[in-house]
Chain A
């Protein structure tokens, strides 16, 4: 349930409370159905609150993993990892923008939980930076495979990943290649690679 829907149900509930009172004269039946409506709205409100509380707990857990000093701060360089571990898949640029919201006015190198929580909650509730579905990922690889060979040479992939878009570091490139390259044929069978990597996502 999105944030806007929550708001709506709050408004409706309050309206019902108001109108319920004035329409008591109209008969028991109407009151009963209003009561049911009110209960339903109350339930929804409760589950919305529960959901937010659950999201808060998730964010706290993920944050705590990187809070080495137990003082509710994390190193700014790890924030990207935390955000991604919560299921979001931002690009580096989007991450940069998000950081701007979370950082202190004078960047200290640390991010405080008090600032992280509200921003992250919003991100999760609005379902921003959704992870990429398998078929979209596959198509991306296919785009890179201009000759439609069905596979990519390591040099090809390296060139794209290190030069285009938001380039990889050498370490990232090496790591990706170590898992992606088929040792026998020395090419990247991207269809298999994507299938293998996405199996882990649950």
Chain B
């Protein structure tokens, strides 16, 4: 009987181990796809730069389109904007059944808001704008770095990224209590995007900010940024919920975000900021920066120009924009070989021997598209702005040193030596930051000098990770509390939890594979010299990695992605067929066009939303075709006008010639043929 027991135990442990590996792989998949998506964002920014520098509009339509794109995020004078976003003119309808608020705001109002949102109500646009105006008034009084003390309270609670997940915030309040005179809270950025209740979270937090100005503190995150919101869903959410008034709310929010403080310091010992630091971070300098001039990281502020450039409004606008984009493009090129994630994949030696962050040195190593003098701009404009970007976008790494963060496109990767240096420079003992999703909701690194805190549980998928918040008492020892919002009360077995998240990740991965079909097929064909249509499974992994460059353990994932391979040979055409895409549109659309469209759908969506000036969700036929042409010129793709027109026509659009953006994007959904029936 003992032998039998040992046998079973042996077997079971192996089973558990395999589960664990699956879980890890799933995590890696999500992260690498997320970061690949962020790289797309960089490409989009580069696309705009490219347009600015090289595009000569061949007809008036195109010129209009471009100026439309760029005046879209032109910086109005802030006072004009505030005036435009006034709430007085908005009437409250008789039928309104949502919460009512009044100013000055009281704790009861704030609590009522929480309850109302818990019951899925929506705050009327009039109140929203009013609240935002009051919040703005308050934020303008705050310094860049808030200083908080534990003298008058028992402990301070610090929360990380929430990303529109209202359930998590409600759970935190349930477990930890609402903010009050005795209960201090610090929120560390990234309140919006991705989740579906971003605006509600903001409204609740702003309300408490107003009611308890000394007890509630909010730091800015990298997602408190107009361009990022366009891509990651906050803009969409506001427009859908508020329709007509969404525009005003959105514009006002831009200004509100820009006035949010950048960091908080507790007892002069603990620094809390969203991303982290860089080797040049100096809190004294940051305290003096005009933070509200960084509306977005593409900003037209001319406060850093010293008369070298003409100060005409329109020109400086575009120049200022170019500079910020350049900074990111040179960083992304120079930094590509130095980031730790890429180090893992790149086996060739680093072609840029000098990995310092001295801007003038790095600029010498690469050539820029622009005709303007990059060094001057980098030194005069980027350097101060760099400091803010560093705080909001940087990530810690294990190796020593400080290298540009190519994955994100902004900020840097900072090593334990940088942490040591910066903390001791200011006599600090701990850095609390967010910005990265962690399995357990938190993670210590750099010798426990850096704590990452992430408060959005189930971020990638139900069951993917826990959320956490940290409490600090006068002893400044962190106490962590973890949680996980789950919609089902029944306890899931480990197998179910892993499977669920895994399915989601694999679905995303299959999409990636499908969208690179042409590249993959031509790569496969190189290995299949005899044109048998088959390649050995061993080569499959090599090919997939070289095309996708996601740095994933393909051999470990292989069994999940490849259904059958008789005699160890994979029929690659059939395999793609299994990764089928469901298209209600006509089949005559060329295969590679579909793929390119699908792969770039996020970019397309972002561009559409910029063009869709009234945010109605409709784009005219003309605009659609032109946008597509612009994008394809950047991608160096030959796409005939006919093919585009065909595609546009085959999508259901109403008689007046406009296309519903949402319908268009929905038209390309990858159907997981194999596991479709298992999906709950």
Contact = CB atoms under 8 A, between A and B. Distances in A.
Contacts of A131: 11, 14
Contact of A85 (B2, B493, B556): B556
Interface in A30-70: 50, 54, 57-58, 61-62, 64-66, 68-70
A81 B4 contact: no
B541 interface: yes
B650 interface: no
B16 A61 contact: no
A146 B1 CA distance: 9
B21 A92 contact: no
Main secondary structure of the interface of B (DSSP, over half): helix
B13 A161 contact: no
Nearest to A67: B344
Contacts of B398: 68-71
Give chain B's interface residue range (CB within 8 Å of chain A): 35 or more
B541 A89 contact: no
A176 interface: yes
B63 interface: no
Contacts of A113: none
A90 interface: yes
Interface string A62-87: 10111011110000000011111100
A144 B491 CA distance: 28
Interface string B547-583: 0000001111001000000000000000000000000
A88 B17 CA distance: 10
B8 A62 contact: no
Given A64-B553, A70-B340, A172 B8 contact: no
A144 B5 CA distance: 8
A164 B1 contact: yes
B553 A164 contact: no
Interface in B491-505: 491, 493-495
Contacts of B541: 57, 61
B286 to A, nearest CB: 30
Contacts of A186: none
A202 B561 CA distance: 12
Nearest to B564: A202
Contact of A161 (B5, B15, B343, B538): B5
A168 interface: yes
Contacts of A64: 344, 553
Given A91-B10, A144-B4, A85 B555 contact: no
B556 A61 contact: yes
A84 B10 CA distance: 10
A57 to B, nearest CB: 6
Contacts of A175: 16, 493-494
Of the listed residues B5, B13, B21, the one surrounded by the most CB atoms of chain A closer than 10 A to its CB is B5
A178 interface: yes
B444 to A, nearest CB: 13
A42 to B, nearest CB: 18
A140 interface: yes
Given A132-B10, A176-B12, A202-B559, A65 B24 contact: yes
Contacts of B6: 91, 164-166
B92 interface: no
A70 B343 CA distance: 8
Nearest to A132: B11
Given A65-B25, A175-B493, A197 B15 contact: yes
A18 interface: no
A70 B8 CA distance: 35
Contact of B11 (A66, A85, A137, A179): A137
A134 B5 CA distance: 15
B610 to A, nearest CB: 37
Contacts of A54: 538
B555 A61 contact: yes
Those 10 A-B pairs whose CB atoms lie nearest each other, nearest first? A84-B17, A165-B5, A165-B6, A164-B5, A143-B4, A61-B553, A140-B4, A85-B21, A81-B17, A69-B398
22 contacts: A57-B538, A61-B541, A61-B556, A62-B21, A66-B24, A68-B398, A70-B344, A83-B17, A84-B13, A84-B14, A84-B17, A88-B14, A89-B14, A92-B9, A140-B4, A144-B5, A160-B1, A160-B4, A160-B8, A166-B6, A175-B16, A175-B494
Interface of A: 50, 54, 57-58, 61-62, 64-66, 68-71, 80-85, 88-92, 131-132, 136-137, 139-141, 143-144, 146, 160-161, 164-168, 172, 175-176, 178-179, 197, 202
